[in-house]
Chains A and B, each alone.
Chain A
Amino acid sequence: MNKIISAAAGAFLLVSTPVFAQSWPSQTVTIIVPYAPGGIADIAARTVAEAMSSEWGQEVIVDNRTGGAGFVAATAVAMSEPDGHTLFVADMGVNVINPYLFDDIPYNPAEDFRPITMISDTPLVLAAYKDAPFNTTEEYVAYALANPGEVSFGSAGIGSLNHIVPEWINYEMGIDAVHIPYRGGAPAATAVASGEVEIGVLALSSVGPFVDSGDIKILGVAREGRVASHPDLPTLIEGGVPNVAAGQWAGLFAPSGVSDEIANKIQADVVAFLNSDAANETFSARGAIVSPMESADFAALLDALRERFSVIIEAAEITPE
């Protein structure tokens, strides 16, 4: 009897797994995005959704669940059925920064989500007002060191990447630059362009127009290597600021209970699309770089970022209280 049951169970397992994988997706796939339509995370999700709709033969829709610093969307994904029909496009804020920023957070990004691949990466640059008394990263550091507490930097809000990266520069170089938060990246870029604040670490795509108009000058890019589209822009590391490299990426995640098979299929299909010319064009038009990755590499990157950011956030005493 036992034999029969185990044999049946074994047969069931053997048969069921491939059937399950083949039948995925068996219904509409929803990609949840924690931000309003129009931003890079939303565009990344929509671009992938459109390509995967034809690839998978099932409709893939984008659901913008805004609010609560991403809590609403993240909680919805964490509590969803891990059958691969609910996916998550999230960024640094939701996946790396939030747990160090808020005392009480209703999800655990490291445990609740399984990283699939990064989708796109928007380079951040150290940008300065046109009349600021420095033109390079070195000159900025020297000026800020000589005038402690005088320089102000604008950000998209407390705990945003545009807040933490300048604090990281402060931390590495011993600078005392003062944080001025704004309501989002565009007002922060405008504040630098109008000279209300001297500097800001902002998305290359959002300062581009102001660089063309001559209101903003770029000192350096916060990346390991130079950006292909702007080969003459030195990195901050070249400018003497060690370690500081972080982009405004958008990545694809699934709830952590999802099966390996489904996760691998999603990874393979999405990465194949991201490697296409069409994907490359869509993202470079938006000032971003397509960044397909192996899931393991993406997970390792997230671990490294979490370690680093926990130290900086604590050192800079960034708290929402």
Chain B
Amino acid sequence: MGVLESLELGFAVAMTWENLAYCLLGVSVGMVVGVLPGIGHLAAISLLMPLTFHVPATAALVMLAGIYYGAQYGGSIASILLNLPGTASSAVICLDGYPMTQKGRAGPALLITTIASFVGSILSIIVLIFMAPPLAQLALSFHSADYFSMMVLGLVAAGSISQGKPMIGLASVLIGLLIGLVGIDVNSGAMRMTFGVPELFSGISIIVIAMALFGVVEVISSIGKVNGRARDKTEITLRGLMPNRKEWRESFWPMMRGSAVGTGVGILPGTGGGSMAAFMSYAVEKRTSRTPEKFGTGAVEGIAGPESANNAAAQSAFIPTLTLGIPGDAIMALMLGALMIHGIAPGPRVITENPELFWGLVVSFLIGNFMLLILNIPLIQFWVKILQIPYRFLFPAIVLLICVGVYSLSRSTVDVMLVAGFSTVGYLLIKLGFEAAPLLLGFILGPMLEENMRRSLMLSRGDFATFIERPISAGFLGLAALLLIWVIKGELTPKTPISVTHDV
């Protein structure tokens, strides 16, 4: 079946009133879930689970998928306005989004992330349309050694995410790594740092870490500030929301690169999805930028790239979920469940055996993203008004939302206590110069590095040559080595003064 006939079939399925309605419901719920800090997939699942049993498989999937990618749009809103990531994958957006708000550019930042979300999603969907079957085969050719080497490249590339002293950046990564070790070790089954608490057996949720280190720490830091409002200077006119020409120009290529990075990361199952994609994209932007010192102080590139990346990853993550049956997270698992209830087994042949489902879903992604764009742009002026709420109302509300959201993860008070604990420790660490972003990166990458490295060595019966014998793995390691040499060379050669003047 050619691409045109496939799309025609997809439109025929997706444009029915029923599927359009489920798509709208899904993306709306997703957006709300994304905006509210911490309130994540599980709350949405319990709300909409009963529905998926009674509607046709395609409609159920269209709706659940809408929640999934819709949440990516909403996630960056609180990151930008309040330094509070709505979803784990939008933690990176805090790095430059919040400084933009502090400079009075909240409106443009929100508009750029909305456009970036849209661009990332659409480019990823286009890749999905033309290349889904071969990409599924590509994911199947990745072995543990290849995943390991890819993570090494990721770690080297993302080393630049640190903004302060390199040693403290490294220490931050290591602390993240240690926190990532908590739980039952996959390879040996050993309990690590669980202290006999069953809630810790499956590890600490990334949401807990992100909420504590970005959200609550920000709230604690603002205690005692005389200024009663987060930002009362922001212009709330349509003009004030529009990015200027320089901001538009600076965000174009980051969106393109971010979309490419996100699409690539999303295809590989079990790589942490959007968070990993956003981190990689941020690293790429900082690396390729001629003004890397601008990052962390409100660089447009620092939000446009990662935001495109996490949305692109959210769309391309459907490739492994549908064609390999590997769920990336709770929502993906639920979607697989919904499919199986209707007797459709995800697998390499799902595209040929259930074309109306696959293409209907893909076209619904297109429609859903247009809906999100239309829903989001008018809402920006309302979101910006959040900044006019006095601290004494806003901050208790945020802390309450975080508590409810984190509790909803697995209905466990242990998670809420963990947020409290990590916030206290996190506040001290950040006051001492440690950084939240490298810590989060260590937390995401560490366990995956370890798991894949040990699995590769078990498979090779202890032979380290496995990492250079496999061409994919060798390629990644080679790139990592080149990057490392480039970085070290850059550090050793005396810096030429960077011209700060821009042609505006």
Interface residues of A (CB under 8 A from B): 36-39, 42-43, 46, 50, 65-69, 71-72, 75, 101, 104, 106, 149, 152, 157-159, 178, 180-183, 186-187, 189-190, 193-194, 196-197, 205-206, 208-210, 212-213, 215, 282, 285-287, 319-321
Q: Once A and B bind, how many residue pairs between them come within 8 Å at the CB atom?
A: 141
Chain A residues positioned under 8 Å from B337 (CB to CB): 37-39, 42-43
Contact A38:B334 (CB < 8 A) given known A75-B198, A186-B326, A282-B341: yes
Chain A residues positioned under 8 Å from B455 (CB to CB): 180-182
Shortest beta-carbon distance from B22 to chain A in Å: 18
Q: Is B386 an interface residue (CB 8 A)?
A: no
Give the distance in Å from the alpha carbon of A149 to the alpha carbon of B451 in the complex: 21
Give the distance in Å from the alpha carbon of A197 to the alpha carbon of B460 in the complex: 11
Contact-residue bracket for chain B = 35 or more
Contact A67:B202 (CB < 8 A) given known A158-B188, A159-B189: yes
Asked if residues B189 and A212 are in contact (CB atoms below 8 Å), the reply is no
Further pairs besides A38-B333, A181-B187: 5, Cβ < 8 Å: A38-B338, A65-B411, A68-B198, A193-B140, A194-B140
Which of B45, B347, B451 makes the CB contact (< 8 A) with A209? B347
Q: A-facing mask of B44-69, CB < 8 A → 1, else 0?
A: 01000100010000000000000000
CB-nearest residue of chain A to B321: A186
Question: Can you name 24 A-B pairs with beta carbons within 8 Å?
Answer: A43-B341, A65-B411, A66-B202, A66-B410, A67-B202, A69-B184, A104-B196, A158-B184, A180-B455, A180-B458, A181-B189, A182-B186, A190-B326, A193-B140, A194-B141, A205-B345, A208-B347, A212-B349, A213-B347, A286-B341, A287-B345, A320-B188, A320-B191, A321-B188
Q: Is B324 an interface residue (CB 8 A)?
A: yes
Instruction: Pick the most buried of B270, B325, B346: most chain A CB atoms within 10 A of its CB.
Output: B325
Shortest beta-carbon distance from A172 to chain B in Å: 23
Chain B residues positioned under 8 Å from A104 (CB to CB): 196
Shortest beta-carbon distance from B183 to chain A in Å: 10
Chain A residues positioned under 8 Å from B340 (CB to CB): 43, 205, 285-287
Shortest beta-carbon distance from B416 to chain A in Å: 14
Chain B residues positioned under 8 Å from A180 (CB to CB): 455, 458-459
Shortest beta-carbon distance from B144 to chain A in Å: 6
Q: Is B350 an interface residue (CB 8 A)?
A: yes
Chain A residues positioned under 8 Å from B350 (CB to CB): 209
Give the distance in Å from the alpha carbon of A208 to the alpha carbon of B190 in the complex: 32
Shortest beta-carbon distance from A174 to chain B in Å: 20
Asked if residues B189 and A37 are in contact (CB atoms below 8 Å), the reply is no
Shortest beta-carbon distance from A3 to chain B in Å: 52
Give residues 25-41 of B contacting A (CB, 8 Å).
none
Give residues 443-460 of B contacting A (CB, 8 Å).
451, 455, 458-459
Asked if residues A183 and B325 are in contact (CB atoms below 8 Å), the reply is no
Asked if residues A68 and B199 are in contact (CB atoms below 8 Å), the reply is yes
Contact A194:B142 (CB < 8 A) given known A38-B337, A212-B349: yes
Shortest beta-carbon distance from A85 to chain B in Å: 18
CB-nearest residue of chain B to A101: B189
Q: Is B269 an interface residue (CB 8 A)?
A: yes
Q: Is B143 an interface residue (CB 8 A)?
A: yes
